[in-house]
Amino acid sequence: MRGREQSASTTSRVGYSHRVFVSRELPGDAAKLLYEHADVDTWEVLTPPSPEELAARTSKCRGLLVMATETVDSTLLDWTPELRVVSNMAVGYDNIDVAACSARGIAVGNTPGVLTETTADLTMALILAVSRRLLEGADAVRNGELPPFYPSFLLGRDVTGATLGIVGYGAIGRAVGRRAKAFGMKVIHHSRRSGLPLEEVLREADIISLHCPLTDDTRGLIGAAELALMKPTAILINTARGPVVDHSALTEALASHSIFAAGLDTTYVEPLPPDDPILSLTNCTILPHIGSATFATRMQMASMAVDNVIAGLQGKPLPHPVNP
């Protein structure tokens, strides 16, 4: 992969009037279809484009295909007067000002439904890994720190018989619940329309798993007060959006052992700064936002995102619209 000192783009020059910027190289063959409909400029650097770089590259584009790491707001839209379609390669779209896009007649699409089971699998993997301290054990083996059999070495928490509290009981939350029941877990939940009050779920559950979207209401939903309600033996899992959790409060709770451990696939910024204090804590397992990272799921997401762009360029309804 090229570094920033080299070219950060691959551009198709096929003579089409439509220009499209794609903010990351796509898996599979989805990009080939897009090349048949537009001049495509692809950002190939592993790190996302800065807001200034994104504005410069999209200023004359009619289509924009972005990841959840890119912010599409009024400031960017002011730089892109020709923009007609924004396609987010994600289910959530909190990185896009949908109202601002709608006001400018810009269609917005996402990739719903495709990653439900994949993300639920990853959630269960995190629950098991954190409960049984798998990463700590693997590190002990690699570092030659493994003692002879010692009865109190790396004791974890039982999953079977534990109570799982699901916060956000949409498609992914329900899929996690089905898996948890197969492990003999008791499942309770909290959501806007059903379930128990959040405080009750936090007090009762042995494991809290977050699956709510990031909105004004859910930003910082799990803060110091909420963490204080949890059992000292409890585990927090977040495969939703990082800002749903107050990062500083979680770091303090883990460092003081107010809760047992946490497993995060998303964080308040991605990637975390290498000197972030939470990275030094052995009771926190952090993954690089790979909830949907299987070959099949990511390729299908890319295909859906491309289909949205092509439809938008042609003035047709998007197959997966956010603002129909």
Q: Is the previous residue joined to 271 through a cis bond, with omega within 30 degrees of 0?
A: yes
Q: pTM to 2 decimals?
A: 0.91
* Other residues' Cβ atoms within 10 Å of the Cβ of residue 155: 8
pLDDT, tens only, 233-285 = 999 999 999 999 999 999 999 999 999 999 999 999 998 999 999 999 999 99
Using a 10 angstrom Cβ sphere, with 0-12 exposed, 13-18 middle and 19 or more buried, the burial of residue 59 is middle
Compute the average pLDDT of residues 76-98.
97
- Of 237, 245, 199, nearest in space to 218 by CA: 245
pLDDT score recorded for residue 10: 55
pLDDT at 1: 34
Residue 217: CB atoms within 10 A of its CB come to 10
Q: What percent of the chain has pLDDT over 90?
A: 91
Helix runs in 17-152, H state only: 30-35, 51-58, 74-78, 98-103, 116-131, 134-142
* pLDDT tens digits along 125-155: 999 999 999 999 999 999 998 877 889 999 9
162-188 pLDDT, tens digit each: 999 999 999 999 999 999 999 999 999
- Catalytic positions are 241, 270, 289
Helix (H, G, I), strand (E, B) or coil at 267: coil
> Rounded CA gap, 309 and 324, in Å?
14
Pairing of strands 63-66, 39-43: unpaired
Q: Give pLDDT tens digits for 82-92.
A: 999 999 999 99
239/157 Cα distance (integer angstroms): 20
**What are the chain's domains?**
9-113+295-313 (3.40.50.720), 116-286 (3.40.50.720)
First to last CA, the chain: 37
pLDDT value at residue 150 = 85
Residue 206 has pLDDT above 90, yes or no: yes
